[in-house]
């Protein structure tokens, strides 16, 4: 396809004047862009083909020039290092292969017939440059796709890698969204549609943990251990690693997998990169955007005045209930990294920073249901229409230095900081459709509420590491790490008004006055601090004629966690106050002037983990073995502010786990591996789950469980791997997990007939499935695709309400088998890639399919909430302007796919006048729409 044709197609796109809300025009955009990269070429007399690779590593060289000496004929190699060039003449010619980082190579060819096909492969030698006695040679680019595939191939255990280059050209700007592209992973999204938590092989977020450069980091989440991955900008990463098979040297509390964010490392020479972009979302630019005013009080009345202080209405800012109203601003991203080696290459330095400011939004309709006491079926009580306005500021910083004192001694110091600041306004209109409160269509009680929150989540870690070569081929490695995660949500405010519409005897509708209702103010914060020390010693003895790598180590972590919670309820005083248009005009009295100083949610806890491990790795012919044992001792305790009469006010749990593992890797050939693995692992309860808090819900009491046990699992894994070329792969894997004491929330009925929702341990669950992962290139085209099937089962007791034979309302516990929460039977990803080195143009269309799954486990039988399946399409492109400058664009959710949740029970035939509900169809519970987002920017690489 010629360049003028390409320009004409782009002009067609521009002339369409796309409206982002028009689904058909979005489809037209994708079709045109795909058409750009799929135009067929012309027929020629003869074809010259081949592949150009690195002579040292065997990896394909992308963008190498291949041309006929003394002519204008020339092409560039594609994604797989291959090329295809027409030759319209006969005779003997010299083919030249050139690349800036390699020595030039020439080969003579002979063209004799019209349809002749000549194949010439070339292996180029990396250039070697000597300057003032310093030797600089090429090395494997750790940020490339080829490097990622090589690491997957050579690793002893099963893992998946995403390279920095793949992240850079993908549609994603956060680590959480990158996760959804990896085989076997899906993501749980936040209120604005961004990915937040990873689900690995159907195992919910509680069963996974996160590392930065191999060091486990704590979570800023106020309840649990899992880390919200939307905090981290993706442009700080050198690669993203997901480990699905644990080895003894790894911490053992992961049943699903481990996410390891490998940050940028010091480069072999000078490095400077910068990118900047602007964009928007459908809920941002050009629309009225509500924002949190700058009136948030950082501290609660109790924090300012003391535990015995009686709060007064004037202690609460009235300005906070009047949100700002202005047109949305553009979304902006700015990233930069710089690195170099100094002091004769003895010291390497790298620093990277990222700033992201985005305005996002969502519209939602939510149907509140209540389980009927006579037949255990859900009935719709309320319909609420919600709109979210979210302003996010994401900051990431990373710095690292390595120091080589000699060939035998190396030190590394690194620090990473990530912070996500969220200002969110939610408006909600709630209409009662309870048959006892409604007199037909358009009538019922109506509540309007406004919620404003300002939340900050931050994670930072610092690590000092040393690596020392000792006599007798021994190697000592040690790590000292300090990591902190914190969350702060001050003065979360919700204020509401009530009204309604009634129908008179004459059939006319009457609007009731809009009157002030309650107001709540809440301050919460938590801090999770880790101090970690680790030492490893490696020997390479020869036993029984085998060379064995024996490794042993010790590990200690001191974790301290604190949680603060203070809540106040305010009621209108005087009671009857009509709404004038501004919530700040209402006056209130404070119902609970002391707040909640004695609530169990005010607690501190500690967790001391001591571990020892030993493992050995050897090779017998073509079989590689890695086996060993890890022992972990956990000492966990807590102290709350709850009254002394509360069971579990203080508590402690101590246990020891022996975690064996064995990994086998059989080398079928240079390009094929066969893997088998077994490992034992655990999952510790969440912090809040063992705290004796108590929150009264509509028809039950939610409580913690101080007697909760950890979850234990036996994990089996097998995978066949084929790497036809350095950048390509075909992976076929299977897994099985037997899970003891999985943690689930269920209702329990206790005398005198009080229903409690509590986490508990429930017998044994199973989880099994298989994965397919494919990466294949066809010159300028490529495809990356994966599919995972997962099947899990757990049996728990659930409440069933019914009338007995005497007509009395009663309840019983029934066992029910269902999938684990968050597990989709089918998960798939597919990215269609195109790269033209002549134009310097790259594009990809990415599809992410997530099958239906349980979004929330209901305590009532057959009432679980199921998220419908989704197919989300994203797009990205990059066009080089010069050798160092490129323009890029990213678009997400271009078909505006909604998030839907249903109860898989049929609506009764009596359902009328309720939107999105129909008789004899599943009961719709929630539908969220997020709109399209897009970015356009420049990227500089030196």
For residue 224, pLDDT over 70 is answered with yes
Sign of the CA dihedral with 746 first, then 748, 753, and 756 last? negative
Statement: residue 697 has pLDDT above 70 = no
| pLDDT of 910 | 73
- The residue with tokens 């234990």 is 712
Lowest mean pLDDT among 28-42, 365-379, 740-754, 892-906: 28-42
Average pLDDT over residues 806-810: 88
Per the rule left: phi > 0, alpha: psi between -120 and 50, beta: everything else, 225 is alpha
pLDDT the model gives residue 6: 36
Residue range 723-729: mean pLDDT, rounded: 86
Of 53-57, 505-509, 600-604, 870-874, the one with minimum mean pLDDT is 505-509
Both tokens of 776, joined, read: 């294949």
**pLDDT higher than 60, residue 126:** yes
Question: Among all chains, which residue has been given the structure tokens 């929460």?
Answer: 821
Task: Give the span between the Cα atoms of 601 and 522, in whole angstroms.
Answer: 12
Looking at residue 589, its pLDDT comes to 95
Please say if the pLDDT value at position 535 is more than 70.
Answer: yes
State the pLDDT at residue 813. Answer: 84
- Tell me the CB-side half-sphere exposure of residue 23, using CA atoms within 13 A: 5
Residue 162: helix, strand or coil by DSSP? strand
- The predicted pLDDT at position 525 comes to 96
Which of these, 863, 901, 866, lies nearest to 747 by C-alpha position? 863
pLDDT in tens, 146-167: 788 888 888 888 889 999 989 9
Q: Residue 748: what pLDDT?
A: 67
Q: According to the model, what pLDDT value does residue 137 have?
A: 41
Strands of the sheet with 237-243, listed across from one edge: 159-163, 237-243, 257-263, 208-212, 215-216
> What does the pLDDT average to over 684-712?
85
Distance (Å, whole) CA 670 – CA 536: 31
The pLDDT score that the predictor gives to residue 700 is 72
Classify burial at 669, counting beta carbons within 10 Å of its beta carbon; exposed 0-12, middle 13-18, buried 19 or more.
Answer: exposed
DSSP letters along 441-486, please?
TT-EEEEEEEEEEEEEEEEEEEEEEEEEEETTTEEEEEEEEEEEEE
Q: pLDDT per residue over 303-351, tens digit each?
A: 999 989 999 999 998 888 888 888 888 999 999 999 999 999 999 999 9
Q: Which has the minimum average pLDDT: 81-90, 174-183, 647-656, 839-848?
A: 81-90
Helix (H, G, I), strand (E, B) or coil at 176: helix
Cα–Cα distance for residue pair 61/101, rounded to 1 Å: 10
Residue 763 pLDDT grade (very low, low, confident, very high; cuts 50, 70, 90): confident
Are the C-beta atoms of 684 and 636 separated by less than 8 Å?
A: yes
> Average pLDDT, stretch 483-505?
91
Average pLDDT, the chain: 87
pLDDT, one tens digit per residue, over 892-921 is 999 999 999 999 998 887 776 788 888 889
Residue-wise DSSP of 236-303: GEEEEEEE-S--TTS-S--SSEEEEEEE----SS-EEEEEEEEEEETTSBTSEEEE--S---SS-HHH
Residue 14: band (very low, low, confident or very high) from pLDDT cuts 50, 70, 90: very low
| pLDDT value of residue 439 | 61
Report residue 498: phi and psi, to 5°.
-120, 145
**What pLDDT score does 38 carry?**
42
Buried b (16+ CB within 10 A) or exposed e, 204-226: bbbbbbbbbbbbbbbbbbbebbb
Percentage of the chain modeled with pLDDT above 90? 59
What is the model's pLDDT at position 534? 97
Classify strands 288-291 and 899-906 as parallel, antiparallel or unpaired. unpaired
- pLDDT exceeds 60 at position 22: no
The candidate with the shortest Cα–Cα distance to 247, out of 668, 748, 615, 547, is: 615
Range 424-439 average pLDDT: 79
- Residue 798 has a pLDDT of 86
Q: Which of 131-135, 188-192, 208-212 is predicted most confidently?
A: 208-212
Q: Quick check: 168 pLDDT over 50?
A: yes
The answer on pLDDT for 2 being more than 60 is no
Residue 349 contacts residue 266 (beta carbons within 8 Å): yes
Q: Which of 124 and 31 is assigned the larger pLDDT?
A: 124
pLDDT band, residue 402 (cuts 50/70/90): very high
Residue 658, judged by CB atoms within 10 A of its CB (0-12, 13-18, 19+), counts as exposed
Identify the pLDDT of residue 435. 58
User: Residue 930 — very low, low, confident or very high, per pLDDT cuts 50/70/90?
Assistant: very high
pLDDT of residue 128: 61
For residue 60, what pLDDT is reported? 82
Helices 3-15 and 23-36: angle between axes, nearest 10 degrees: 170
d(CA 353, CA 358): 17
Query: Is residue 680 a contact partner of residue 661, using CB atoms and an 8 Å limit?
Result: yes
Contact (Cβ atoms closer than 8 angstroms) between residue 441 and residue 460: no
Q: How many helical (H) and strand (E) elements, i.e. helices and strands, does the chain have?
A: 6, 53
Which run of H or of E encompasses 833?
strand 826-836
In angstroms, the CA 256 to CA 531 distance is: 25
Q: Supply the pLDDT for residue 436.
A: 58
Provide Rg for the chain, Cα atoms: 31
Which pLDDT score, from 0 to 100, does residue 698 have? 57
Looking at residue 10, its pLDDT comes to 38
| Closest of 508, 394, 406, 409 to residue 456, by C-alpha | 394
Residue 487: its pLDDT value, please?
97
Q: Is the pLDDT of residue 765 over 80?
A: yes
Convert the pLDDT of each residue in 564-600 to its tens digit. 999 999 999 999 999 988 888 899 999 999 999 999 9
| 455-465 mean pLDDT | 96
């Amino acid at each position: 396809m010629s360049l003028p044709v390409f320009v004409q197609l782009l002009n067609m796109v521009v002339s369409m004047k796309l409206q982002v809300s028009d689904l058909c025009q979005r489809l037209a955009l994708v079709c045109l862009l795909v058409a750009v990269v799929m135009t067929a070429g012309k027929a020629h007399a003869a074809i010259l083909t081949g592949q150009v690779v690195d002579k040292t590593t065997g990896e394909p060289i992308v963008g190498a020039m291949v041309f006929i000496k003394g002519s204008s004929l020339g092409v560039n190699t594609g994604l797989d290092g291959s090329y295809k060039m027409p030759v319209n003449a006969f005779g003997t010619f010299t083919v030249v292969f050139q690349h800036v980082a390699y020595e030039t190579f020439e080969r003579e060819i002979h063209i004799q017939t019209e349809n002749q096909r000549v194949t010439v492969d070339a292996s180029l030698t990396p250039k070697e440059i000597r300057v003032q006695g310093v030797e600089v040679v090429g090395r494997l680019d750790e940020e490339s796709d080829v490097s990622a595939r090589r690491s997957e191939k050579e690793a002893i255990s099963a893992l998946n890698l995403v390279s920095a280059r793949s992240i850079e050209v993908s549609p994603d700007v956060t680590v959480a969204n990158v996760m959804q592209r990896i085989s076997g992973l899906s993501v749980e999204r936040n209120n604005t549609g961004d990915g937040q938590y990873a689900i690995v092989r159907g195992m919910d977020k509680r069963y996974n943990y996160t590392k930065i450069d191999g060091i486990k980091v704590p979570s800023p989440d106020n309840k649990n251990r899992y880390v919200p991955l939307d905090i981290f900008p993706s442009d700080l990463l050198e690669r993203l690693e997901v480990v699905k098979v644990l080895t003894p040297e790894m911490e053992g509390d992961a049943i699903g997998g481990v996410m390891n964010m490998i940050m940028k490392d010091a480069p072999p020479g000078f490095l400077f990169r910068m990118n900047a972009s602007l964009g928007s979302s459908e809920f941002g630019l050009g629309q009225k955007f509500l924002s949190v005013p700058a009136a948030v009080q950082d501290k609660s009345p109790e924090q300012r005045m003391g535990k015995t202080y009686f709060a007064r209405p004037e202690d609460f800012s009235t300005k906070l209930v009047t949100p700002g109203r202005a047109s949305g601003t553009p979304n902006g991203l700015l990233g930069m990294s710089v690195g170099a080696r100094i002091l004769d290459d003895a010291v390497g330095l790298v620093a990277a920073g990222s700033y992201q400011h985005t305005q996002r939004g969502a519209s939602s309709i939510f149907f509140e249901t209540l389980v009927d006491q006579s037949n255990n079926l859900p009935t719709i009580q309320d319909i609420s229409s919600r709109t979210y306005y979210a302003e996010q500021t994401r900051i990431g910083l990373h710095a690292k230095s390595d120091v080589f004192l000699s060939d035998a001694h190396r030190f590394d110091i690194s620090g990473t900081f990530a912070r996500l600041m969220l200002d969110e306004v939610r408006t909600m209109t709630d209409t009662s459709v309870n048959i006892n409160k409604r007199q037909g269509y358009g009538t019922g009680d109506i509540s309007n509420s406004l919620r404003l929150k300002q939340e900050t989540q931050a994670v930072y870690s610092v690590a000092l590491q040393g690596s020392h070569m000792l006599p007798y081929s021994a190697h000592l490695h040690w790590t000292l790490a300090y990591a902190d995660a914190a969350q702060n949500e001050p003065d979360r405010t919700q204020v509401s008004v009530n009204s309604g519409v009634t129908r008179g005897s004459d059939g006319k509708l009457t609007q009731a006055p809009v009157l002030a209702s309650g107001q709540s103010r809440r301050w919460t914060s938590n801090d999770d601090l880790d101090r970690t020390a680790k030492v490893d010693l490696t020997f390479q003895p020869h036993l029984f004629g085998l060379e064995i790598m024996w490794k042993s180590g010790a590990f200690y972590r001191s974790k301290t966690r604190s949680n603060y919670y203070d809540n106040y309820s305010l009621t209108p005083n005087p009671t009857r106050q009509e709404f004038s248009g501004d919530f700040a005009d209402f006056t209130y009295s404070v119902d609970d002037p002391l707040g909640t100083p004695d609530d169990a949610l005010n607690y501190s806890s500690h967790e001391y983990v001591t571990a020892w491990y030993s493992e050995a790795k050897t090779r017998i012919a073509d079989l590689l073995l890695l086996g060993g044992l890890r022992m972990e001792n956990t000492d966990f305790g807590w102290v709350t502010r709850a009254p002394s009469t509360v069971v579990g006010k203080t508590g402690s749990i101590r246990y020891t786990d022996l975690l064996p593992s064995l990994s086998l890797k059989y080398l079928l050939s240079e390009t094929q591996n066969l893997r088998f693995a077994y490992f034992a692992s655990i999952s510790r309860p969440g912090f809040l789950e063992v705290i004796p808090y108590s929150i009264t819900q509509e028809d039950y009491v939610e409580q913690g469980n101080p007697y909760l046990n950890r979850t234990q699992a036996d994990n089996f894994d097998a995978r066949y791997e084929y790497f036809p070329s350095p950048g390509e792969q075909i992976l076929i894997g299977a897994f099985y997990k037997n899970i003891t004491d999985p943690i689930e929330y269920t209702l329990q009925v206790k005398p005198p007939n009080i229903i409690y929702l509590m986490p508990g341990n429930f017998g044994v669950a199973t989880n099994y499935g298989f994965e397919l992962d494919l990466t294949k290139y066809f010159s300028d085209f490529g495809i990356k695709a994966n599919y995972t099937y997962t099947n899990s089962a757990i049996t728990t007791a659930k409440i069933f309400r019914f009338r007995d034979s005497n007509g009395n309302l009663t309840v019983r516990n029934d066992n029910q088998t269902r999938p684990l929460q968050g597990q989709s039977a089918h998960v798939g990803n597919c990215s269609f890639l195109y790269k033209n080195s002549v134009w310097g143009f790259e594009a990809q269309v990415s599809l992410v399919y997530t099958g239906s799954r349980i979004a929330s486990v209901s305590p009532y039988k057959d009432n679980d909430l199921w998220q419908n399946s989704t197919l989300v399409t994203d797009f990205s492109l990059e066009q080089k302007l010069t050798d160092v400058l490129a323009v890029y664009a990213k678009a997400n959710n271009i078909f505006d796919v909604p998030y839907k949740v249903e109860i898989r029970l049929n609506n009764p035939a009596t359902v009328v006048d309720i939107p999105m509900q129909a008789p004899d169809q599943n009961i719709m519970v929630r539908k969220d729409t997020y709109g399209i987002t897009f970015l356009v920017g420049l990227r500089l690489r030196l």
